[in-house]
Chains A and B, each alone.
Chain A
Amino acid sequence: MIRAAFKKSNLLLLINALVIAFTPISAFSKDCSYQRALILLSSSFGPYIDAASILTNELKRYCPNIEIEQEDIQEPRGLFFKSKRKFRPTIVFPIGTDALIEAQRRYPNSPKVFSMVLDPPQEAILGSNTFGVILKIYYEKELEQLKRIKPDIKTIGCLYSKDTEEIIKELKKIVPTYGMQLIAIKLTSMKELEDKLDDLFRVSDAILAIPDTVIYNSIIAPRIIYMSIRYQKPFIGLSKKFTTSGALFSVDCDYLKSVRQAAKMAIAIMNGRSPERPVEYCKEFTTYFNLRTARLIGLKMSSEELKGLTIVAR
């Protein structure tokens, strides 16, 4: 999906990359110390805090004298809650999509290295001096894995809303290359959910989750997992949490390692080196597999087939 988004604006990205590659990053000397870094959190959501902690440790390890401030963008700024002391960062580390958008608004010209961002809006990553690591849903790897587990799958179903039309466009190109047909059903209102879920399960051999906040949230996702077991059809989840809750498998970015990847990128930038690409995808991933769900939906897996999969129990 991100790739599709990039394809649409390949030219823009190329220009952006070229500009960055050939422009010396004047804000930094060759020593990363004595910089002022601002870690901007989207919220105090646990994984964001974990990411901030890893980022702080990595930065301190390589740049011992770096001055680091941390701010949650949802911190109140009303009459009684004055903003923190004036801190002028030389580099900003947005964590999460909301923080990235906020950083682009507040510090349009400062270097920014983002992490913990999934499917960001294009305007958020195309700004100048914007670098970072994007969490990726590995659709190709998911489809490859699905084909390996159940070669007779002909149709793969996906429920989506208007927020995720772009992803569906991308999937329509990818899915046929694996010898399958995509059946995408659009949900226009929540009242249709039950009927459309039934339709989806009836016509599809497997179901694929996409990062659609309207549909694959903590309320509806368990329902889809339940139905996938009821209809004995594989459901490919978004993350390990989905798999432990009963999805057949998921291909997960190691998000904490992706934060370290972003930290390395930042250290290179602070030492005056330009990264090869302004935006990278997280490099390390794990395939989580729920063996119990496999048994429930009638899949028999040999130990050879389970090689390379990380087994989780529900």
Chain B
Amino acid sequence: MRTLLFFTTIFLLCISSAAFSYIKGKEALLFQDMPTVVTASRQSLSVIESPATATIISREDIEHMTFNSVSELLRYVAGIEFFKSTGASFNIGMRGVNGLQANNVLILVDGRPIFSPTRNTNQCALIPEVQDDIERIEIIKGPGSVLYGSNAFSGVINIITRNPESLSGTHLTSSVGTFSNALYSITSGNRFGKWSYKFLAAWTQKSNIEDHNNQIKGLMKISGEAGYEIRPGEKATLSFGFSKGRLAVRPTASISSFDQDGFDGFLRGIYHRDDLKMDIWWRHFEASGDFKRTGHIRWRYDNLNFLFQNTFRTTNHTVVYGFETRFANLGATSYDSWHNQFLGSIFSEDRWRISTNWNLFAGLRVDYHSEAKFAVSPRLSLVRFLGSNKSLRFSVASAFKYPSYLQNYILMGTPFFSHKGNRDLEPENLTSIELAYQLWNPIGFSCTIATFYNNYSNMIDYDFSYKDNKFHLTYDNLYSMHQYGVELDGQYRFSKNFLVKANYSYVWKQKRDGVTFGPVPTNQINGEIRYNFDFGLWFDLRIHWQDTSECTLGLSPTNFSTISLRGLTPQEIERAVRNVKYFSSWHDVDGYWLGDLSMGYSPPGKWWKIALGVHNIFHERFKETSYSERADTTFTARFTMIF
């Protein structure tokens, strides 16, 4: 105890002159930034005015986390369920629904969806972006289909990259860690008069399997952007990006959980004129792998997307409206043939300023899908300002998710087993009610208290049957369920140097056997203590606790393929049926503690900075899911040169 007191006193002596001091000069007022969030409403609004609950991971947060993967930045956000599915890829769920590789949320990079329509998964590992190029991440919880359409189901995550002006130079980063975890990147951007450019090249690798036995997957990422400012408020930008390499991507089904050669690239043009935005992008994805049971599988798809968006304003109304189209073409060895798909949508949302203290958001989006036909997603959100920096919000919103290509088209089979898509599937639906209180005070105490009730219907799952001495696997709109939860998220800034954050989330799930349901902890707590010294040294300690997670794994296609290759004996049929029951029942993944400690030194005005991170400090060899990775303690050292 005396030792503790002694060191505490020493620490306080060290920091005494720096802590609890703000910039007193009035000139700071001239340069202050006004906090805004753009993803929730496709317009720039302050956090308390947003029609949905928003959390922002800032540039400072990103620099302090020292993770080499983009996905891991999301671990400490209230209401996010985060599990490893392999060493290099992660399942990210939100508000109580988790699935393979974030297949219930929509992840965007500067507004461009990155989900793979093959299985509606979001593979963050394939984004041609690295931490040096990310300005902030906006996380919008709850349905977002009113503005973003399919897949904006339980939330939207928008990764916003840095603009060339804010890069203003070249950043060279080398970040290496234990278990062959490495990221090397060069990011460069600048503005010359009306022209601006940005370029990024990176190599990343990570050990894939739990015992880290040298199965390393490497990925190359290259992206670039050139912009021309025609006049203030009018700009044209052309960008491209791709990632290529070997990674345990899972673009199709669980049977392909092996490492594959993959390519994911895009070409994009954006024209902005004040509120008007026209955005066109083409995306090409392809992957192939050799699988033990099904041989070589290759699949690819191409998407051509066009988005038009504008804003109409009157005294009391701000209406965001637009339309979006997508032409898609997909083919795979395991599908019956190549398929073309067309998706079209129109959307509009009005922000009505009823009075000084009341805002009403009313929006509607109608989507058309060539297989699943029409889907309608409305949103009503009433915001009551309770002061200059707090608000109370009541929202009712609906979201949907179209069936994946796999669910629509897959066609595989052997004499003993058939796996067939269903073209009559309807979109999955979510209706959500939310009540939230938000207090935003970045220089003091900020908090969000949100309660929600979600009702899911038309959820698609495996439909299994055994007849004529053969297993049949297809998909159908099989079940409905509901859940509710609460999130408390707070932060207190004691001084400009000292920040403490904490959040708690609880979710109650309706348990239904025979469905596939990813692991979701009932209770989850995150905490963070951060101290920045003015001369550039900083410390950051993050703690995560989650209790037992409940999940079902659904059917195991691996079992089916094993059986199908060998033929069926009566004993095997019995075992297979037993396995089906086992995988479809609810079971638990143990709760655990996790800690990350990072520290760094970024001397002001210097050309270099360094950061060190120790992840998974409370190392208990726990498994993050019942079927995948363990978390070992890892170390990361990052060195960045800026010139």
Tell whether A211 is near chain B: CB-to-CB under 8 Å.
Answer: yes
Instruction: Give the distance in Å from the alpha carbon of A164 to the alpha carbon of B24 in the complex.
Output: 14
- Is the pair A223, B534 in contact by a Cβ cutoff of 8 Å? no
**Complex alpha-carbon distance, A132 and B190, angstroms:** 31
Query: Given A226-B49, A311-B232, A312-B233, does the pair A79, B10 have CB atoms closer than 8 Å?
Result: yes
Interface-lining segment among B12-20, B499-507, B586-594, B616-624 = B12-20
**Is the CB of A9 closer than 8 A to any CB of chain B?**
no
Q: Which B residues touch A153, using CB under 8 A?
A: none
B46 contacts chain A at the CB level, 8 A cutoff: yes
A contact residues around B604 at 8 Å (CB): 41, 44, 49, 72
Closest to A227 in B: B356
Other-chain residue from B14, B29, B36, B536 in contact with A78 (beta carbon distance below 8 A): B14
Q: Mark A19-51, 1 if CB is under 8 A from B, else 0.
A: 000000000000000000000011111110100
B442 to chain A minimum Cβ distance, whole angstroms, is 7
Residues of B within 8 A of A135 (CB): 27, 30
Roughly how many angstroms separate A75 CA and B389 CA in the complex, as a whole number?
32
Question: Is A313 at the interface (CB under 8 A from chain B)?
Answer: yes
Secondary structure dominating the interface of B: loop
Across the interface, do B443 and A47 meet the contact criterion of CB distance under 8 Å?
A: no
Most buried by B among A79, A225, A231, A232: A79
Instruction: Please measure, in the bound complex, the distance between the C-alpha atom of A123 and the C-alpha atom of B49, giving whole angstroms.
Output: 43
Q: How far is the CA of A162 from the CA of B28 in the complex (A)?
A: 19
**Complex contact B27–A53 (CB within 8 A):** no
Q: Which residue of A lies closest to B535 (CB)?
A: A75
B26 contacts the other chain (CB 8 A): yes
Q: Which of B3-56 contact A (CB under 8 A)?
A: 10, 13-18, 21, 23-36, 44, 46, 49
Contacts of B233 in A (CB 8 A): 291, 311-313
Dominant secondary structure at the A interface: mixed
Question: Contact at A211–B388, with CB atoms within 8 Å?
Answer: no
* Contact status A255-B442, CB under 8 Å: no
Answer whether A76 and B535 are a contact pair too, CB < 8 Å, given A97-B26, A193-B387, A220-B389: yes
Is A239 a contact partner of B30 (Cβ separation < 8 A)? Answer: yes
Residue A64 interfacial (CB < 8 Å): no
| B274 interfacial by beta-carbon distance below 8 Å | yes
Q: Which residue of A lies closest to B47 (CB)?
A: A222
Chain A residue at minimal CB-CB distance from B23 = A43
Q: Which residues of A contact B15 (CB under 8 A)?
A: 76, 78
Residues of B within 8 A of A87 (CB): none
Contact status B31-A47, CB under 8 Å: yes
CB of B16 within 8 A of CB of A241, answer: no
Task: Return chain B residues, CB-CB under 8 Å to A197.
Answer: 388
Stretch at the interface among A111-119, A141-149, A171-179, A270-278: A111-119
Closest Cβ of chain A to B113, distance in Å, is: 26
Q: Bound state CA distance, A245 and B313, in angstroms?
A: 16
Query: In the complex, A98→B27 CA distance in Å?
Result: 10
Max chain B C-beta neighbours (<10 A), residue from A230, A231, A312:
A230
Segment from A10-18, A260-268, A292-300 that makes contact with B: A292-300
A117 & B313 in contact (Cβ 8 Å cutoff): no
B605's nearest neighbour on chain A, judged by CB, is A49
**Cβ-based interface call for A109 (8 A):** no
Instruction: Decide: B232 and A313 in contact? CB cutoff 8 A.
Output: yes
For window 209-238 of chain A, which residues contact chain B by CB distance below 8 Å?
211-213, 216-223, 225-227, 230-232, 238
State whether the Cβ of B533 lies closer than 8 Å to any Cβ in chain A: yes
On whether the beta carbons of B534 and A217 are closer than 8 Å, the reply is no
Question: With a CB–CB cut-off of 8 A, which chain A residues contact B26?
Answer: 97, 118-119, 211-213
* CB-nearest residue of chain B to A99: B25
| B298 at the binding interface (Cβ < 8 Å) | no
- 8 Å CB contact of A45 from B13, B28, B275, B440: B28
A65 within 8 A of B: no
Q: Given A74-B21, A76-B17, A238 and B29 touching (CB < 8 A)? A: yes
Q: Answer whether residue A155 sits at the interface, using C-beta atoms and an 8 A cutoff.
A: no
Please, how many angstroms separate the alpha-carbon atoms of A241 and B604 in the complex? 23
Q: Given A218-B34, A230-B353, A310-B232, are A76 and B18 neighbors across the interface (CB < 8 Å)? A: yes
Interface centre among A44, A49, A70 (most CB of B within 10 A): A44
Give a binary string over B530-563; 1 marks a CB under 8 Å from any A CB, 0 the rest: 0001111000000000000000000000000000
Output the nearest chain A residue to B356 by Cβ-Cβ distance. A230
B536 x A42 contact (CB < 8 A) = no
| Those of B42-83 within 8 Å (CB) of chain A | 44, 46, 49
For B16, give the chain A residue with the smallest CB separation.
A78
Residues in chain B near residue A305, CB distance under 8 A: none
Provide the bound-state CA to CA distance between A238 and B29, in Å: 8
- A194 to chain B: which residues have CB within 8 Å? 387-388
CA–CA, A175 and B121, complex, Å: 61
User: Are B31 and A45 in contact (CB-based, < 8 A)?
Assistant: yes
Does B510 have its Cβ within 8 Å of any Cβ on chain A? no
Q: Are A241 and B388 within 8 A (Cβ)? A: no
Give the contacts of A167-209 with B (CB-CB under 8 A).
193-194, 197-198
Asked if A77 and B34 make an inter-chain contact with CB atoms under 8 angstroms apart, the answer reads: no
**A53-78 residues at the B interface, CB under 8 angstroms:** 53, 70, 72, 74-78
Q: Which B residue sits closest to A75, measured CB to CB?
A: B535
With both chains docked as a complex, state the minimum distance between the C-beta of A222 and any C-beta of chain B, in angstroms: 5
Q: Is B237 an interface residue (CB 8 A)?
A: no
Contacts of B17 in A (CB 8 A): 74, 76-78
Kindly list chain A residues whose C-beta atoms are within 8 Å of the C-beta of B440. 219
B418 proximal to A (CB < 8 A): no
Quick one: given A44-B534, A227-B356, A311-B233, are A217 and B29 in contact (CB under 8 Å)? yes
Measured CB to CB, the closest approach of chain B to A37, in angstroms, equals 15
Give complex CA distance A31, B18 in Å: 38
Q: If A219-B389, A232-B315 touch, does A81 touch B14 (CB 8 Å cutoff)?
A: yes
| Chain A residues positioned under 8 Å from B30 (CB to CB) | 118, 135, 211, 238-239, 241, 252, 255
How distant is the Cα of A72 from the Cα of B28 in the complex, in angstroms?
16
Select which of A70, A74, A117 is within 8 A of B605 by beta carbon: A70
The answer to whether A42 touches B389, judged by C-beta atoms less than 8 angstroms apart, is no
What 5 A-B pairs have minimum CB-CB distances, sorted nearest first? A97-B25, A313-B233, A78-B14, A118-B27, A74-B534
- Pick 21 A–B contacts, CB within 8 A, sort by A: A72-B604, A74-B18, A76-B17, A78-B14, A97-B26, A98-B25, A118-B26, A118-B30, A198-B356, A212-B26, A219-B388, A227-B356, A238-B30, A241-B34, A245-B34, A291-B274, A292-B275, A295-B313, A298-B315, A312-B233, A313-B232
Given A44-B604, A76-B15, 19 further pairs, Cβ under 8 A: A43-B23, A45-B31, A72-B534, A76-B534, A96-B27, A118-B30, A135-B27, A213-B28, A218-B34, A220-B389, A222-B34, A226-B49, A231-B356, A238-B29, A238-B30, A241-B30, A241-B31, A241-B32, A252-B30
